[in-house]
Structures are given as structure tokens and as C-alpha cells.
Amino acid sequence: MTSAQDALPNAPFRVVTAVAVLNQDGSTKGWLTDIMPGGTVTIDTTAEVVRTCSFEILDPSGLLMPLWPSGGYLDPSKGVEVQIFSGYDVDGAVTLFSLGIFYLQEVDVASGSGGTTAPGPVLTVTANDRAERISTNLFTDAFSIAQGTSIAQAVLDVLASQAPWCTQVSIAPASATVAAQAAQPGDDPWALMQSICASGGQLIFFDRDGVLRVIDDPSANPAPPTATFADGLGNPATSVTRTTSNSPGYNGVIVTGQSMTSSSTVISGSAFDMDPSSPFYALGPYGKRPAPPVQVSTVTTSAQAAQMAQALLPQVLGMTRQVVVDCAPCFWLEAYDLTVVTNIATRTDEVLILEQATMPLDYSTLGAVTSVPLGTPISQFDGLNNQPSVAAYAPVSNGSFNYNPTTGTYTYSSTSGTTGSVGTGLSLSGIGSGGLGGVGGMGFGIFGIPGVGGGGVTRFLRTGNGGYEVKRDTADGVTTVERTVEDA
């Protein structure tokens, strides 16, 4: 796997972005040009749909905007998907990473771009990853899965029913089987797959290459970290903020059930942290802070409720801890990746799980990575929470990659002590003509990924078995697979 120091160029670089419009079979229909500054791709593991994106694009030819009834190339009613690539340009040699395949949700058309001099119309595109496509295709008939079915087979059964188009799947082996499952018309198939996987301690999401992945709990089965933010030369972080909060800070659980003898009798049981040496001791200064009651229909006695409350207590116990790193964009990051943060000023030195990440599609802002300690309850295991805990902090340049928000430049401190800087910029050399709706271009056409300078383009793409292919595209349209890397 890739560490931050290995993947980021050891030289001044520009952030560059290309957006492909995909055909129904996943092949590339064409490339969007004239992407405007300010777009982002967000990873949020606390939300039902993990990856989302937003960007603006000029459309002077009018080929992209949705028009009723004829439509345009970016018409959400046509089930359009786009694949976003971002990466680093070092003296014309470009390395691009896929940031996800996104299903269009909304396209806003404005007559101009506000205070800028860019010509209109301007399209604002928002899109979610492929989980949205599955989630919105609600069951129209009763659907069931037999008790004892493996998690992998249960996921494949739901896909066969509701998303037969989803054929790129990578499922980690698991010995657990599922209880009998029954979905009713109107139920959400994505929510069903999440609960199936969670019952076996696994997580399901679409990765940055649009592959449906089922992985083990990263806390229970730690993988090698994919990013290291450590004090010293080559550190991509410009600031680190460690947050400790008692919101929610629970130290107790209440379970309620249903009496078998009287509908008016309330069955309940509770469990609290009763360890006098714990900072969350319920009879100490911290007091009692129970989580919202959990109602379980199969609990019929107070003794059962108390037993279940005791079993659930470790899942809610403790303070909320987060570490937020402002950094140069780390485009290879994946949901639930492990990160290492070592920072003397904040007394941080630990392995963490990526919870959220914001990746800018241009030079205008820093990236941000929010991680939580191993063992932190994960939303898919706890019940989904669509209210992400977003933390934003002003960047302070004190790392080896120093970012100047005024000029939009990154400066890299090399091992020799010299520095260099790169100017602002967004467009890929050679992408400005012949793309989808490019100013002065040929309008819509089918193109390979644009060649950039004399260096060509290197792409890192995940394969169906969890490995990576390293592909190189040159200006003459030739693509070669340089090597295949198996996942660690």
C-alpha cells in the first residue's frame, strides 16, 4: 500500500483534474473540459453514501445542460455516471488517481459565474457514488434470504435482484452466516446489504474505482496504514488538530423490552461504567450519561434487558476523539483506511481509522483528513448517522509541504534544503479542445484520456480482486499496463 510520503511527488507540483462521462457499460464516452476551480470529492463513512462530489463546469455550447425533453449529456434523468480523476503534475508528467464513479443527482444551470469573468452558462454538478443508485431502486416485491446463507452470497442475491449492473465486486471471506432476512415492497436494498454485512462484522461501500467492496472491521483486522503524517521532512500535513469531546460521552446503556403479561408494563434494564478507576465512573464526578434507550422486542424480562445493556456498554463508552489533518491532497485515500499521525505539538502518535476526507479538485484549498482511534464505533455497526461530524480548521503552514492560500501554491522542502514552488492552474495540457463542450472545441466526441506534455499520464486503478493496475497513457492514444500490484 502507499504512504503519503511515497505517493506525493518529491518536487513542486500542480493539482490537476479530469472528469470522464461514462457509457452504460462503464466505458468512457468523453471527457469534460473547462472544469472550474472549487470542486471537491468527499469521503464520509458516517453517511449512508460514502463518496460524494460537487464541481462546476462551463457549457458555452449547451451540449451538457439538461433540457426537457431532449436532455443533454449531463442530464440526471438519463442515469449518467461520471468518473473523476485527480492527481499531480510535475513538469508535464501527470499521475492521476480515480476518486470514484458518481451517479448524477442534480445539475444547476446558471447564466454566469457571479463575480468572475467566465462566460455562461455555468453548470453546478452534484453526484453520489453508486450506493445511491442501489438505494433508490426500492424493492417492489417481497424479497427473502434464507437463514444460514453466507454474507457473500446474501450480498450477491440482493445485487442480482436490485442491481444486476453491479458486476465489479470484491468481498472479503467470512465464516459468519446471516439470519433469515425478509424485505418488503418499499424497503431500501442498500440498507439491507449494510445490515447483512454488519451482522458479520463487515463493512460495505463503493471504493474510488467504483468497485463494490465488503471488508472486515478495520479495528479487528488492521491492515497496513496507507498514509503517514509524521513530523519531519516530507510531511504532507500543514496542521494537526486533536479533538476530545464529551459529546456524546456516554457511560451507560438503557435497554427496554416488551412484557409478555401486560402491555402497560415497561421492561427495562441498564448498565453503567462502575469502575472507580475509570474517568467515566458513573458514581464519580463524571456522573451518569446514558445513551438514548435501545428498544429490543425480543427482550421480555428486566434481567434480559440488563444483560443486553451490559453487552452493549463497550460500544458507547468513552469520549469522542478525532484527529484532523490539513494537508496536501492525498488522492489515493480510501474509506476506512488506516492512517498514522505523529505530531509533537498535539501529543499525537497513533494509528487511526479514516472517518472523513475532503479532496479538492484544484489548487484553491487544502485537503483535510479526519481520523478516529481504532475501536471507535463505526456507523454501519451502530445504525447509520446521516449527520457527519465535520471539523474544519484554518491551515497553518508548518510542514515540509507549505501551502500559500493567497497564491494557491505548494512549496516542497527538498532533502538538500532548497525549495521550489508551483503556480496555480487547473486544466490539463491538451484537454482544452475536443472535449465535451470545451470552449472552442469540437463539441462531443470520443477521446482517450488526454496526453499531457511529453510525460504522458500514469493511472492507478483498482482491479476486481483488490489489487492495482498501474497504467500509462501517452499522447498518441497508446495505453500500456506497467505493472499489477496485489493488495497487501
Question: Which amino acid makes up residue 267?
Answer: I
In the numeric block, which cell numbers belong to residue 76?
A: 440526471
> How many domains is the chain built from?
2
In a domain, residue 348? The reply is no
Angle 276-278-281 (CA atoms, 0-180°, nearest 5)? 65
- The domain boundary, picked from 298, 316, 334, lies at 316
Report the candidate in 58, 66, 51 with the shortest Cα–Cα distance to residue 106.
Answer: 66
Kindly provide the residue ranges of all beta strands, DSSP E only, lying in 198-347, ordered along the sequence.
Answer: 202-206, 212-216, 227-230, 237-245, 252-258, 266-272, 294-295, 320-327, 338-343
Angle separating helix axes 189-199 and 151-162, nearest 10 degrees: 180
Query: Within a domain: residue 135?
Result: no
| Residue 187 counted as domain residue | no
Select from 375, 374, 314 the least CA-distant residue to 350: 374
Has residue 239 been placed in a domain?
A: no
Q: Evaluate the CA torsion angle 455, 460, 463, 465 in order and state its sign.
A: positive
Picking from 315, 291, 314, 308, the residue whose alpha carbon sits closest to that of residue 378 is 315
| Residue 369 maps to a domain | no
- What is each CA distance from 385 to 44, 161, 193, 304, 391, in whole angstroms? 10, 26, 16, 27, 16
Q: How many CA atoms lie within 13 A of 458 on its CB side?
A: 14
Grid cell of 271 as nine digits = 448498565
Q: Is residue 246 part of a domain?
A: no
3-state secondary structure of 417: coil
| 117 phi and psi angles, rounded to 5 deg | -95, 5
Backbone angles phi, psi at 133, to 5 degrees: -65, -40
Rounded (10°) CA dihedral 465, 83, 359, 129? -70
Q: Which residues of the chain are under the pLDDT cut of 70?
A: 1-7, 33, 112-120, 258-264, 296-299, 315, 318-319, 363-364, 375-488
- State how far the Cα of 97 lies from the Cα of 331, in Å rounded to an integer: 6
248 closest CA partner among 321, 183, 307: 321
Q: Is residue 218 part of a domain?
A: no
- Tell me how crowded residue 424 is: count the other CB atoms within 10 A of its CB: 14
At 111-168, the pLDDT tens digits run: 865 555 556 688 899 999 999 999 999 999 999 999 889 999 999 999 999 999 999 9
Out of 263, 286, 316, a domain closes at 316
Write the single-letter amino acid at 11. Answer: A
Instruction: Give the H or E element holding residue 30.
Output: strand 28-32
76: left (phi over 0), alpha (psi -120 to 50) or beta: alpha
Report the chain's terminal Cα–Cα distance, integer Å.
6
What is the CA 164 to chain-centroid distance, rounded?
Answer: 23
Q: Diameter of the chain by CA atoms?
A: 80
**Per-residue model confidence (pLDDT) at position 471:** 59
Domain range spanning residue 86?
9-130+422-485
**Can you give 322-337 as a three-state secondary structure string?**
EEEEEECCCCCCCCCC
- The model carries a pTM of 0.71
Give φ, ψ of 38 to 5 degrees: 110, -5
The answer as to whether 440 is a domain residue is yes
User: Whose CA is closest to 188, among 146, 132, 149?
Assistant: 132
Kindly compute the dihedral angle of the four CA atoms of residues 97, 100, 104, 106, in this order, to the nearest 10 degrees: -80
Among candidate residues 285, 316, 347, the one where a domain is terminated: 316
Amino acid, res. 441: G
